Structures are given as structure tokens and as C-alpha cells.
Amino acid sequence: MTETKRALWDRFVDRFVDAADPISLFETTADGTVDTIAYGRSGRRTLRRGERMERRLREAGGRVVTDYDRREGRYEGLVYMMYSLDGDEVVPRYLGKCGKFGASGTDLNSNLRNVDTNDGKLARWGYGNYYHFGDLSSAAFRDDGPGKYDRWLDALFASTDPPRLREPVYFWVEPWAVGTEGPYPDTRPYLEELEYQLIGIAFELYPERLLNTEGVPANPEAYAKMRGWTDREDTRLSDF
């Protein structure tokens, strides 16, 4: 029996995401208003990361850094997801990665340096410019963030003054170990390939909810076949 895209997604979520104890992406009050901080020398108003989210991200990033320092070769980096819940259904809003290595292919990714203390980068979720929290905050409070964060703002926030969420937004992160099976059965993707697999599946299931713009295939079914994820002759592409 072939597995559907829904089954692939649900299976991956069941293996990795603890939806019964979700971690809030933002630090919020009971009514969904997001706390803010004054960040940087100029004291820019900035949306605040959730305390549990930050703790979990630093811990996961620290495992990758330790792996790099010890040259153990266990992890390729981090895979992460911003998501919401529809009942107990995990609805992906954004999927991404932070690789262990930088552009040189040998040095530690600058986004992971000093991951236990660095607030500006923090594995792509930093408060600095060109990082998720920094640019989303610029879109919210200064109307000068990159265009993609306008979509995030519209999708996630009911208002910006005060910054109040439409619904709770959660965060998941996992250090991706070499040889781990991905969402497609019997595949053990590299981190970059895993990202494409997850985005492709999520885009088919939640095209109106997923906020990724990069890595979204024009034809997810054909792309999956091209990559060899669905290469059995008895498998119909519409089943994936």
C-alpha cells in the first residue's frame, strides 16, 4: 500500500514533534500579545523570543557545535519549523535549516558561533538585521523589513500596536543526525535534501498556510520523482 503525503507528514511529525507540549515561538501574555525588548545600541523595539524556545534552540545548537569541536561528524546541522496547531494537527508555517558548516565547507557556521550567548544571530532566529526576529520586528514596527516578512506579519499577527498574534505560534528544532530516515520511507537525506522534502510535502498539504517562498517546487510531485524519492513503478505520484 502506498503512503499518501498526509501519511508521510503525520509520520514525520509523530516521530519528531511533541505537539502535546508545544514550545511557544514568542514570549506572550495570556491574550497573545507578544512581549518586546529594546535591542542593540539604538534600542530598537524587537519582538521577544519565547524563553523555552530560546533555551531549546541554544541547547540544540550547542549539540551541533560540540559535534563540530570534537570532529565526531554526527550532526549535519539543525532543522526547524515554525508551526501552529489545528486541534492536535501540526500546521507548518515555515521550515528551514541551519547547517553546521559555513560557506567554506570546513569552518563552523557563523550562525552557530557562541550559540549559548549570541542574541543577534542565534541559528537564524536572532534579533539582528537579516535574521528572523530582527527582520520580522522591522516589518512590524518600522516598516522596513524584507518583503517576505510582510507575509509573516499578515499571517501571524492580528495587530502590531500592540503586537498580538492571531493564534499561538510554536517552534520545533532538531539536530539532524547523519543517516536519519527522512519523511519518505527508506530515505536518509542530507540536511539540504531534508529541507526540500519537508517543504515539498508541506506545500502540497498547506499551500495557503506555508510561508516559505524559497525551496517551494513548482510541481512537488514531479520534483519528488526527479529526486528519486518515489521511484517504485507501482507508486502513483498522486499518492505522495
Its pTM stands at 0.88
Q: Report pLDDT digits (tens) over 97-111.
A: 999 999 999 999 999
Question: DSSP string of 160-193?
Answer: ETTEEESS--EEEEEEEETT---SSTT----HHH
Residue 86: Cβ-neighbour burial (10 angstroms; 0-12, 13-18, 19+): exposed
Give pLDDT, residue 216: 74
Give pLDDT, residue 173: 99
- The pLDDT > 70 percentage for the chain reads 88
| Residue 234 three-state SS | coil
Give pLDDT, residue 240: 28
Q: Report pLDDT digits (tens) over 46-84.
A: 999 999 999 999 999 999 999 999 999 999 999 999 999
Domain ranges of the chain: 5-230
Answer yes or no: is pLDDT of 239 > 50.
no
Answer yes or no: is pLDDT of 39 > 90.
yes
Q: Report pLDDT digits (tens) over 99-148.
A: 999 999 999 999 999 999 999 999 999 999 999 999 999 999 997 767 88
What cell was used for 49?
A: 523570543
Answer yes or no: is pLDDT of 218 > 80.
no
Cβ distance 171 to 80 under 8 Å? yes
H-type alpha helices, 71-168: 132-141, 148-156
Over the chain, what is the mean pLDDT? 91
Give pLDDT, residue 143: 79
What cell was used for 143?
A: 516598516
Q: Report pLDDT digits (tens) over 219-229.
A: 555 555 545 55
